[in-house]
């Protein structure tokens, strides 16, 4: 896989670097980037030649400046005011002067994804707008890996294009099996299992991986559409048969049978491959003995317990909250607000 810097620009507004050393940009480079609404952080300038950075300008401008989402952002709104200013060229020159005079440290770019230049610092009559500039940072492979894992553990739903960027950065940052085991995003985890040719032991993770290999989906949805898709896809597919056999050899069908009843429609769809019928039939028989019901999700049960007057284990609650992603905490807060205060049994998340 050939790494493209677009992935890190889209995910982190950053470029990969090797050394954590700094160098200030030339005035020419500052002019070219500032008039487009961004600047390179000193660590980026140190790690790339000026020509390499000039070659990146159009790519970065396209990624941070042309999408509908970015056009509606506060950055674009402030920058559009600069573009429409009667003395745009002079504004850019004053911005460059500000950066070169005051330096980067006073702007605080080491901790922010963007910097504000106060309108009062831009020495132009009748121009009082604060200007927001995006900072393109530099991250080493290890830093990229850490940031990637944080994204995948945040609970944020990822678009398909973002998943492709994630895979690209994962390969570039040399993510390993131990790193992947820590990832909470189940869909991306299945894709990484496949790319790195890893074999999950956890039965649910294996089924998700199996589904990805079968119909290119990681969603364990028990509906007619998924059933039909599996049924059509498995006919005559030897690779799918091998996956079941590999799991049997490494972990045993007994372990896989623990989840058979929970995902019975999905397993039964695999019977449409004649070579898998004996395997699925055996799983069905083993499930009578080895079935493990889905453990009650502690955080999902909080509101029901409160309504029933069940005493909550505060120590367990704190532990679960410490391990939960921020989006999970928000959902719980919303549930507590609606289900315990209002007379309602369900919530629609938008």
Model pLDDT, residue 132: 65
Q: Is 341 buried (19+), middle (13-18) or exposed (0-12) by CB count in 10 A? A: exposed
In angstroms, the CA 207 to CA 256 distance is 9
Model pLDDT, residue 72: 39
Model pLDDT, residue 247: 94
Give me Rg for the CA atoms of the chain: 26
Model pLDDT, residue 349: 38
Residue 323 CB neighbour total at 10 angstroms? 11
Model pLDDT, residue 131: 59
Per-residue pLDDT of the chain (350 residues; tens, 9 = 90+): 455 789 999 999 999 999 999 888 888 888 888 778 788 888 999 999 999 999 999 889 888 753 334 433 444 455 555 555 554 455 555 555 556 555 555 444 434 455 555 555 554 444 455 556 788 889 999 999 999 999 898 878 788 888 899 999 999 999 999 999 889 888 899 999 999 988 899 999 999 999 999 999 888 888 999 999 999 999 878 899 999 999 999 999 999 999 999 999 999 999 999 999 999 999 999 999 998 887 767 777 777 777 778 788 788 888 878 777 776 777 778 777 766 554 544 443 33
Residue 214 CB neighbour total at 10 angstroms? 22
Tell me the H-state helices in 176-325: 177-181, 186-195, 203-215, 224-234, 238-250, 253-257, 264-269, 277-290, 298-308, 314-323
């Amino acid at each position: 896989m050939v790494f493209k810097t677009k992935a890190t620009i889209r995910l982190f507004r950053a470029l990969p670097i090797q050394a954590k050393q700094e160098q200030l940009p030339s005035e020419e480079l500052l002019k070219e980037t500032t008039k487009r609404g961004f600047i390179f952080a000193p660590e980026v300038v140190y790690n790339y030649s000026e020509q390499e950075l000039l070659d990146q300008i159009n790519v970065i401008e396209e990624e941070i400046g042309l999408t509908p989402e970015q056009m509606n952002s506060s950055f674009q709104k402030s920058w559009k005011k600069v573009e429409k200013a009667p003395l745009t060229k002079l504004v850019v020159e004053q911005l460059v002067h500000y950066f070169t005079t005051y330096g980067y440290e006073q702007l605080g770019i080491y901790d922010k994804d963007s910097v504000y230049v106060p309108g009062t610092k831009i020495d132009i009559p009748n121009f009082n707008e604060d200007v927001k500039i995006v900072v393109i940072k530099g991250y080493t492979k290890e830093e990229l890996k850490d940031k990637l894992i944080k994204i995948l553990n945040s609970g944020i739903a990822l678009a398909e294009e973002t998943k492709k960027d994630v895979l690209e950065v994962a390969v570039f940052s040399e993510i390993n099996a131990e790193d992947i085991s820590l990832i909470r995003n189940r869909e991306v985890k299945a894709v990484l299992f496949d790319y790195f040719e890893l074999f999950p032991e956890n039965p649910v993770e294996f089924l998700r991986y199996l589904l990805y290999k079968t119909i290119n989906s990681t969603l364990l949805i028990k509906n007619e559409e998924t059933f039909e898709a599996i049924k059509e896809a498995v006919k005559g597919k030897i690779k799918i048969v091998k996956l079941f056999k590999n799991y049997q050899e490494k972990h045993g069908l007994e372990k896989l049978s623990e989840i058979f009843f929970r995902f019975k429609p999905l397993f039964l769809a695999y019977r449409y491959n004649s070579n898998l019928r004996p395997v699925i039939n055996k799983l069905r028989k083993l499930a009578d003995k080895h079935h493990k019901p889905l453990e009650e999700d502690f955080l999902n049960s909080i509101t029901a317990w409160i309504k029933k007057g069940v005493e909550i284990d505060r120590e367990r609650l704190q532990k679960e909250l410490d391990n939960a992603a921020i989006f999970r905490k928000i959902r719980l807060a919303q549930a507590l607000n609606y289900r315990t205060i209002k007379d309602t049994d369900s919530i629609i998340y938008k």
